[in-house]
């Protein structure tokens, strides 16, 4: 396919000469310009930009690389009038791929794999946690497509995760100073998820704030809520169930 047609289709009619640039976009453009100044003399800035984006995909988006194929073809073979047009186009279309082509479950799995401190609590990795000072953050990620599971299957899976968490809390020395367990996920926003969490003593806090969403759930289309429970209360509830 003609790369210029791909470029046109990707941009969906959005002019790359559009003067309306957000502060965030302007900051990204400036960073890319500085990066392109480091391009070796035998490599064009366009080639260098594409190579850097390839490195970013390999490093941060393992498993969903094919979602970027059309973007990279347009970036590699497209004819841009100047560096500003190339950079602005690249940034906007890169963000469009992240927003439109990568599913919510893809993002959950990428976030899970990207957390070096994350610890899986289920065999399929769909429930995991990470630590932040005296709090333990519980996440329900991709793994099995939870939305397709029956209520009974969800209970079994969550029971597996909660059982593993109890074992961690009682036997992992790194968790002895934990005082609070927090759950942050789309499943907390669901009535069924809330019902299950309440069985373990969780209090539902409601939707996360805008800052948290922008930082950690920017491309999540579903509602994301949080819940919390005191560690001792959680352990007591688990023993009673």
pLDDT in tens, 219-229: 677 788 999 99
Q: Which two tokens stand for residue 92?
A: 């906007």
Q: Which two tokens stand for residue 34?
A: 């500085």
Q: Are strands 127-132 and 225-230 parallel, antiparallel or unpaired?
A: unpaired
- Complete edge-to-edge strand list for the sheet that includes strand 203-207: 119-120, 127-132, 135-140, 180-185, 225-230, 203-207
Q: Give the model's pLDDT for residue 2.
A: 43
Q: Give the model's pLDDT for residue 182.
A: 93
**What are the structural domains, with CATH classification, of the chain?**
3-102 (no CATH), 105-240 (3.40.630)
- Cα–Cα distances in angstroms (integers) from residue 188 to residues 29, 168, 221, in the given order: 37, 22, 14
Question: Residue 136 and residue 161: Cα distance in Å, rounded?
Answer: 14
Q: Which two tokens stand for residue 183?
A: 């759950």
Dihedrals φ, ψ of 227, to 5°?
A: -150, 160
pLDDT at 14 over 50: no
pLDDT in tens, 164-206: 999 999 999 989 899 999 998 888 898 888 888 999 999 999 9
Q: What percent of the chain has pLDDT over 90?
A: 29
pLDDT at 40 over 50: yes
pLDDT in tens, 150-161: 767 777 888 888
Question: Residue 72 and residue 69: Cα distance in Å, rounded?
Answer: 5
Per-chain mean pLDDT for the chain: 79
pTM above 0.75, yes or no: no
pLDDT in tens, 120-175: 788 767 788 888 778 898 877 644 455 666 767 777 888 888 899 999 999 999 89
């Amino acid at each position: 396919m003609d790369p210029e047609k791909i470029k046109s289709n990707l941009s969906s009619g959005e002019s790359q000469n559009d003067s309306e640039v957000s502060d965030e976009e302007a900051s990204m453009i400036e960073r890319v310009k500085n990066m392109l100044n480091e391009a070796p003399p035998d490599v064009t800035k366009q080639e260098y930009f594409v190579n850097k984006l390839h490195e970013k995909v390999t490093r941060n988006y393992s498993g969903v690389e094919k979602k970027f194929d059309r973007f990279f073809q347009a970036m590699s073979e497209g004819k841009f009038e100047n560096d500003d047009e190339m950079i602005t186009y690249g940034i906007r279309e890169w963000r469009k791929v992240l927003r439109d082509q990568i599913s919510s479950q893809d993002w959950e799995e990428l976030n899970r794999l990207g957390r070096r401190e994350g610890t899986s609590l289920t065999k399929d990795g769909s429930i995991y946690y990470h630590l932040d000072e005296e709090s333990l953050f519980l996440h329900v990620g991709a793994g099995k497509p939870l939305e397709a599971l029956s209520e009974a299957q969800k209970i079994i899976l969550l029971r597996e995760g909660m059982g593993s968490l109890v074992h961690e809390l009682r036997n992992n020395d790194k968790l002895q100073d934990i005082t609070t367990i927090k759950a942050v996920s789309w499943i907390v926003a669901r009535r069924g998820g809330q019902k299950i969490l309440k069985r373990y003593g969780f209090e539902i806090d409601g939707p996360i704030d805008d800052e948290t969403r922008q930082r950690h759930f920017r491309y999540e289309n579903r509602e994301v809520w949080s819940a919390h429970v005191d560690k001792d209360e959680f352990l007591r509830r688990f023993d009673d169930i």
